[in-house]
Structure 1
Amino acid sequence: ERRERSRRRKGKAEHETSGHEGNKRERDQTRANKNEEKIESGDQLKEKEKALGVKKKKKRRKKVVETSSEPETSEDGDDEEEVNNDGEVRPELLSPEELEKLKEAVDEKKKLIQSLRGKPWPMKQKLVTLRESQLFVEKYEGALGKGKGRKLYAYKVMMTKKWMKFQRDFENFKIACIPWEMKIKEIESHFGSSVASYFIFLRWMYGINMILFSLTFGLVMVPEALMGRAYGSIPRKTVPRAEEAGAMDFAVLWDFGGYAQYSVLFYGYYNNQRAIGWFKFRMPLSYFLVGVGTVAYSYMVVIRTMARNANESGIGDDNSFNFSWKMFTSWDYLIGNPETADNKFASITTSFKEAILEEQESRKDDNIHLTRFLRVLANFLVLCCLAGSGYLIYFVVRRSQKFALDGLENHTWWERNEVNMVMSLLGMFCPMLFDVISTLENYHPRVALQWQLGRIFALFLGNLYTFIIALMDAINLKRKEEKVVKYNITMWEATLYNGTGSENSTAPPITIHPADVPRGPCWETMVGQEFVRLIISDTMTTYITLLIGDFLRAVLVRFLNHCWCWDLEAGFPSYSEFDVSGNVLGLIFNQGMIWMGAFYAPCLPALNLLRLHVSMYLQCWAVMCCNVPQERVFKASGSNNFYMAMLLVILFLSTLPAIYTIVTIPPSFDCGPFSGKNRMFDVIQETLESDFPAWFSKVFSYASNPGLVLPFILLMVLAIYYLQSTSKSYKEANVELKKKLQMVIQRLDNF
């Protein structure tokens, strides 16, 4: 229709100008040439369009001057808009072949944009090519198609771009929603990635404890509080009459006794009723499955994180091209503080010197006998410290048991809390003693750091297991006391029955208040209380040490430096450095105590969550205000899996005592959800017999038969051995290929 209108206008204006036909042919020929040139090449399209645009503008001015008719001028304007509207190609004027070529050119530009990052070009050429390709795609992408299809295609292109922009904005929003991300980035810019790795690890531990708290709080504590029997209805949920007077005292509540002991915070409060509430919630089964599920989830998360870190770190040895790696990958580009940058520069310089002098140092003829003697002496002193700390913990635990038999109210605050305080003080001062002893060994700093971490790990682990052994002795004493109390309760019930029902059998039965009913010692609650006290004392010791050892030290150095005899900042005491390894080890062992005691104290995940939340803000403040960057800044990538490996070991060792008590020790007879059963895991068999068909319980019993379980475990061990052997062969093949590649490169260089 547009062309028909154009021909009609030509007929009307034919008598007014004689040279119009020649100019029209020339314009049509130029337009055809221009369209052919537009699809010739994607790289030369812009230059030809600019040249042809200038020519068309000149011709247009000439036609306007020569023509006096308004229809002719409007016709020329329409033609010019069709040919050159800011250099845009009109798709209706292109042939199918030309349109296909333009589509191919757009696709090639898109592929070039995607693969531009890997091109071996100079950066200037990459930027120019990227800018030109993006302009070309934006200009001609929406012009593809014909008629209504072109509008639909342009709409799809627009929506695709908006969707990509939304995805970028959403990714930025997700990063902004990560807890404490900006605080950690600020610390990373001042202290490097090594100090930031501790806070990233703390945030990761916070996420794990959030899941553990959700499981324990949602499936154990809340159902018992809402659907279980109320406080005071049964003896296990009532404070004894002898303890009512001081049940609300601060000292009693601080030791988690009184009303805190007889609440949902501890194991003994929960009833052994199989189903509670109108929902018929299976409380004993839920308690057991939550305890097992939290451990299984922790194993899964730790192993998965270790595997992801191993995949991200890659494989291969770091000995190849050692100086090249040090030259191009040693700098930490996240550092934003000049002091940290100077320390990092000094660290890189030291690492180069160490790499150059390592072989010379190994060839030095030192007094090897003296060195061996000093190292043996240092290890002997460390073993003495470990043995002394273990004996001290065992001694104070046995002493606290005697205090408990005499009555804690008759002793001082230190005597009531000396177990927790002694363990906290040993964890504070023994690492300092190990650091002093390590100066005798004359190890390389990296080797000395590994020995230091190993000794602190052994100290914490020995103290923890000494504490567990002492608790086992306390459990045995409680079980002996339980037998005596159980016999006394039987005699008391018999005496009560004989005294009330001898003459008048129709008399109403005597009602006894639950607070007056005698009850046995609940060893599960005792274990939970010990772990809660240990966590609280360790937290308080950490915070007090942070305020006194870091904050007050920084205040003294800052304000007394100008009036002191020597330079306090450069000499003694100076500002403190942030101890990454010590803080991480403390965090790991604190989490181990949570895994070990959470089965007997469901409140432990909540307390640990609160502790980690406060520690994040307090330690971030202390680092930025009181600490200085380390003299040697280490990259954090090499220590991620080391920390995870220690966490996995602690997880395994902390679950062993809990599994032992669940499998071997009978539960208390009058407290907890498993009272009245021979073993705690009998709740599984009871549920299978009561709530599932008979064939299902038979299948489960067959599946749990040792004759089937042991071959399955053997098969798993063989599969692990096969996979490990395959991985080892792949690594060896990788090393051989590297050697062959180096030989080929050397031959090519020689050629």
Structure 2
Amino acid sequence: MSGGNSSKNKARSSKRQEGWEEAGGEFYQELYPGGEQELFENLQRADAAKLATLLPSKQARNTTTVKRGRSQNERRQSTFARNTQSRDIHLSMLPDLSENLSNEERSWEEIMQIKAMPVPMAQKRELKARLQNATKLRLQGFEQLQWRQRKVWHRFRTRLAEVLGKLELWQSPMRVIEGKFGTGVVCYFLFLRWLLFLNIAISMFIVLFLILPNTLLKENCEDCESLDYNSTLCCPERSGNVTSNNVVLDLIQGTGWMEGTLLFYGVYSDKIFEYSLPNLWGAEMVYNMPLAYILVPIAWALLSLVAIVKTGAKGFKERLVENEGQFYLYCNLVFGGWDFCVHNAKSAKIKHKALFNEIKGCLQEERYKEEKQSRTREGTILLHLRRVVINIFVLVILVVSGVVIYMTFNFSTSSLYEYTENLPTLRPNDSFADTLVSYKDDNTDNQIRSTLLQFLPYVCIVVLNLFVPEIFGYLITYESYKPRHVILITLLRTVLLRLASFVVLLSQVYMQTSGLLDSGDHAVRLECWETFVGQQFYKLILTDFAVQFIMTFFLNFPRAFLGRHSNSRCLKTIGTQNFYLPKHVLDIVYIQTIIWMGAFFCPFLPIIGTIFYFFLFYIKKFNCLINCTPSPIVYRASKSKSLFMSVLLVGFVMSIAPVAYSIAEMSPSLNCGPYKSYGTVWYFVITTFNLFPPVVREVVFLMGTSTFAVPAFAIALFFLYYYWAVATANRHMVAVLRNQLVLEGHDKQFLLNRLSAFIRQHQKRCERRNRASFADDDSSVRQGS
């Protein structure tokens, strides 16, 4: 053995000092063994323990152990570490006898794990056949019964998942879109389908607990002949007869006969229904309709929040996993950036271009960093000044958009009241909508003009939402932001535009519903302002659907047709349309925000939204596959999910805030709705709460006192600290495992290098041996001759 050779010891010590290498931000210390002669001797003797001590991972552990024990008793501690190391190595090198004693359950679990292995299908089949043909121990008694039940349940779940997968909605179109545009765009359509199912769940709450009870248990309508004021919803039958000649216009506007339907707030009763069930010994049952009307919105709001958080958490987890490899960005793009769902040659070329643009964008970020570092003070001041000017201009655009919506709304209102200024009096049987659309000359032209005026503010909002983001996209090119920040800032500005339009619309509606609608010397009071608010959201969602339909089939489709079949460069430039994902996401988030905000005043709105999303899928599919080409920006699935849910959460908060204010502060209408006998909706909640048993009230009041709040806060902090500690420990364990993977990889490289050296040395020995034998044979032949 060459262990006692001093020259080799010096060589080892020199290599031990200069053996630090960098591996992806992680460092390890590699100790190379002695010469190849020593390795050859170890392999010949099959000394596994000696060979294992030469691995880089073992050397790193041994060096760490020696350093930790050097402060007190260096020689004794290092010897103990080496003895322990040796015993661990011998134990690790022993054969695992339990491998040949697996039972049926363990073999079945191993077969199930083969499906998730990243190996070719032929290798999976080989592994499965090997496990099935291996000798297994049979389970006995209760263990065998338990294993069989588990196996049957797993098989049932697998078959059920297969059946549900085949019955999945829009499965075939999703595959077509995924094949041509990749996983990022198909995530948008999955998000649209997710919103469809969410609205179906919300609609089920509304149908089961509001619409059906109010339809089945409601009493006959009271007589309205004695009323001398304009009650919007006192007698729906009478209102329907009066406006029977305007069926189509009322259907579009939500006025007239539609006010007397379950579409709006004012129809729902304020009574507590009592009924008996003969099959239950005549038990008297009650159904509190006002309580149900406030609990159902709370239920679907909580359902929506939980669904958003749960779905968004999955996307953020996937995004965190992707961000772990940010130090290997270009390697991930080159080796892992291809979307294998693409099966079209043209789409493959576009995907190549998209990856090229992504790499170019990353290089632009690097160039941006270099330019930022080398930028002079004057250049920095000019850049910030330019950004400030552009942001001021963006704010001006937002303010102008709000002013345009405000002026359009005022113009629409004043123009509508010009037709009613000469009306003599308000008739007892007329609803507010009848008064609003009455004219001196009751003819079709005036009715159509009135309809256009009523829809004018909503058309203005939709048009601004379509064209103002294009201006934002043009302005941001002069601000020199990072490519990654361009999309985020554009999204932020577009969201602010949608928010500004909502604020102006809600403020105008609030001004009309909080008092008198004044127009010169004329004044009309809203008898059911909740129904009026519901009509505004009803018209807004219809307008958005109509604009989406018109833009897709009557504007974008002719553009795409001209761009494809024309030789003019100008027409090709105008006709080329990219599927810009953030814009389409904001479109459906905008619709969902309208649904959440208006569902309290128009309970049928989630049902209308479900129908709207169903047809919107086909509209967007046509727009994606026929009108548009894939965007040059690469959208990853995990980033898309987290982006969608973040924007949707903002829309949810924005929609719940005004509804909560109307419930807590605004006075309900005195002539319609479930809360016409109360000062506010929240006052009804308090009154109902006071009817609860004293024990329940005391418990709730106790939860609001400091006696309960302080300990609860302390316990919450304790749990937060606990989960923070667990997360820190998990991050540390991830770092340790990452280091171990690095060392294991170098162990493989080390063994392969040494094995190749051993093979080369063995080949040289064989060659020398063959030469010697050939020389002996040649000499013997010569001697014989």
TM-score of the pair, normalised by structure 1: 0.71
**In the TM superposition, what is the alpha-carbon distance from 1:730 to its structure 2 partner?**
5.6
Question: Partners in 2 of 1:636 and 1:189 — Cα distance?
Answer: 14
Name the residue aligned to 1:220. Answer: 210
Post-superposition offset of 1:612: 0.3
Structure 2 letter corresponding to 1:218 = L
User: 1:233 offset after TM fit, Å?
Assistant: 4.9
Q: Deviations over 1:508-532 (max 9, x none)?
A: xxxxxxxxxx996111111111111
Distance 2:540 2:120 in 1: 59
Q: Does 1:457 align with 2:458?
A: no
Report the AA paired with residue 159 of structure 2. D
**What is the Cα deviation at residue 462 of structure 1?**
1.4
Which residue in 1 is equivalent to 2:133? 136
Contact conserved, 1:371 with 1:441, CA < 8 A, in 2?
A: yes
Q: CA deviation at 1:331?
A: 1.3
Distance 2:607 2:117 in 1: 53
Look up the match of 2:303.
297
> Does the 8 Å CA contact 1:663/1:679 hold for their aligned counterparts?
yes
Which residue matches 2:257? 259
In structure 2, relative to structure 1, the CA distance for the partners of 1:723 and 1:465 (3 Å cut) is: farther
1:448 aligned counterpart, secondary structure: helix
Match of 2:635 in 1: 634
The residue number in structure 2 matching 1:238 is 235
Matched, 1:327 2:326: no
Are the structure 2 counterparts of residues 255 and 118 from structure 1 closer, same or farther at C-alpha, using a change threshold of 3 Å? closer
Q: Is the 8 A contact 1:519 1:670 kept in 2?
A: no
SS of equivalent residue, structure 1 residue 342: helix
SS at match of 1:321: helix
What is aligned with 2:190? 200
Does 1:545 find its partner at 2:551?
yes
> Partner letter of residue 660 of structure 1?
Y
Deviates more, 1:401-410 or 1:436-445: 401-410
SS of 1:634 mapped into structure 2 = coil
Deviations 1:560-599, CA, capped at 9 Å, x for gaps:
42xx44485xx32234222211111111121112111111
2:189 match: secondary structure: helix
Q: Which runs of 5+ in 1 are unaligned?
A: 1-99, 486-517
Change beyond 3 A, Cα 1:263–1:325: same
Counterpart Cα distance in 2 of 1:681 and 1:394: 30
Give yes or no for contact 2:114–2:124 (8 Å, CA) kept in 1.
no
What's the offset of the Cα at 1:417?
1.6
Letter in 2 for 1:441: E
1:719 and 1:537, CA in 2 relative to 1: closer, same or farther beyond 3 A?
farther
Distance 1:193 1:462 in 2: 33
Q: Does the 8 Å contact 1:248/1:259 carry over to 2?
A: no
2:199 aligned residue: 209
- Pairing of 1:87-106 with structure 2 (within 5 A): none
- CA distance in structure 2 between the partners assigned to 1:105 and 1:696 by the alignment: 55
Going from structure 1 to structure 2, the CA distance change for 1:356 and 1:130 (only over 3 Å counts) comes to: same
Cα separation, 2, equivalents of 1:154 and 1:710: 51
Task: Write the mapping of 1:37-436 to structure 2, written as runs, cut at 5 A.
Answer: 113=111, 126=123, 129-130=126-127, 132-133=129-130, 136=133, 167-231=157-221, 233=223, 236-239=233-236, 245-249=242-246, 250-275=248-273, 278=276, 279-315=285-321, 317-356=324-363, 358-364=365-371, 365=374, 367-403=379-415, 405=417, 406=420, 407-410=436-439, 412=449, 413-436=451-474
d(CA) in 1 for partners of 2:629 and 2:580?
11
| Partner deviation per Cα, 1:81-118 (whole Å, 9 max, x = no partner) | xxxxxxxxxxxxxxxxxxx9998587886576456679
Match of 1:471 among 501, 509, 523: 509
CA-to-aligned-CA distance 1:159-181 (integer Å, 9 cap, x gap):
99887665543321111122112
Q: Evaluate the alpha carbon distance shift between residue 403 and residue 214 of structure 1 in structure 2; reply closer, same or farther with a 3 A threshold.
A: farther
Note closer, same or farther for the CA distance 1:368–1:334 as it changes in structure 2 (3 Å cut): same
Quote the Cα distance in structure 1 between the aligned partners of 2:393 and 2:684.
Answer: 49
Indicate how the Cα distance of structure 1 residues 218 and 479 shifts in structure 2: closer, same or farther if over 3 A, else same.
farther
Alignment match, 2:622: 621
> 1:223/1:135 Cα in 2 relative to 1: closer, same or farther (>3 Å)?
closer
Cα separation, partners in 2 of 1:719 and 1:107, compared to 1, 3 Å? closer
**In structure 1, C-alpha distance between the alignment counterparts of 2:477 and 2:649, rounded to whole Å:** 30
Change (3 A) 1:360 1:195: closer
For residues 251-275 of structure 1, what are the alpha-carbon distances to aligned partners after superposition, in whole Å with 9 as ceiling and x for unaligned?
Answer: 2332111110122111111221122
Separation in structure 2 between the aligned mates of residue 124 and residue 524 of structure 1, nearest angstrom: 62
Q: CA deviation at 1:191?
A: 0.8
Q: Which one has a bigger Cα radius of gyration?
A: 1
Structure 1 pair 712–388 and aligned structure 2 pair: CA distance change class (3 A)? farther
Rate the CA distance shift 1:135–1:647 in 2: closer, same or farther, 3 A: closer
Task: Mark the CA change 1:738 to 1:161 in structure 2 (over 3 Å): closer, same or farther.
Answer: closer
Structure 1 residue 735 displacement after superposition: 8.5
1:280 is aligned with what amino acid?
A: V
Provide the rounded CA distance (Å) in 1 between the counterparts of 2:632 and 2:107.
50
Q: CA RMSD in A?
A: 4.2
188-197 or 571-580, which deviates more: 571-580
Letter in 1 for 2:184: S
Distance, in Å, in 2 between the alignment partners of 1:123 and 1:256 is 60
Q: Is the 2:702–2:708 Cα contact (8 Å) retained in structure 1?
A: yes
Instruction: Measure, in 1, the Cα distance between the counterparts of 2:359 and 2:526.
Output: 68
Q: What is the CA distance between 1:650 and its match in structure 2?
A: 1.6
Q: Give the aligned partner of residue 40 of structure 2.
A: none
CA–CA separation in structure 2 for the residues paired with 1:722 and 1:404 = 61
Take 2:386 and 2:395, find their aligned partners in 1: how far apart are those partners? 14
Alpha-carbon contact 1:228-1:276 (below 8 Å) kept? no
Q: Distance in 2 between matches of 1:251 and 1:128?
A: 66
CA-CA distance at 1:188 after TM superposition:
0.6
CA contact (8 A) 1:479 1:523 kept: no
Query: Which letter maps to 2:302?
Result: A
Among 438, 441, 445, which residue is 2:479 paired with? 441
Q: How has the CA–CA distance of structure 1 residues 715 and 262 changed in structure 2, closer, same or farther, with 3 Å as cutoff?
A: farther
Deviations 1:683-727 (A, max 9, x none): 33444455x444444444x24756578658856885686478658
Of all paired residues, the percent bearing the same amino acid is: 22
What's the secondary structure of 2:272's corresponding residue?
A: coil
Question: Is the 1:237–1:263 Cα contact (8 Å) retained in structure 2?
Answer: no
Q: Partners of 2:714 and 2:245 in 1: how far apart?
A: 57
Quick one: distance in 2 between partners of 1:520 and 1:373? 50
| Native 8 Å contact 1:478 1:521 kept in 2 | no
Counterpart CA distance in 1 for 2:240 and 2:212 is 26
Q: Give, in whole Å, the separation in 2 of the partners of 1:603 and 1:414.
A: 24
Relative distance call for 1:422 and 1:715 in structure 2 (3 A) is farther
Conserved 8 A contact 1:269-1:672: yes
CA contact (8 A) 1:263 1:269 kept: yes
Counterpart residue identity of residue 388, structure 2: V
Aligned mates of 1:320, 1:356 — CA distance in 2: 14
User: Deviation at 1:603?
Assistant: 1.1
Q: Distance in 2 between matches of 1:586 and 1:314?
A: 27
Rounded Cα–Cα distance in structure 2 between residues aligned with 1:144 and 1:739: 39
TM-score normalized by the length of structure 2 = 0.68
TM-aligned CA distance change 1:727 to 1:263, over 3 Å: farther
What letter corresponds to residue 677 of structure 1 in structure 2? Y
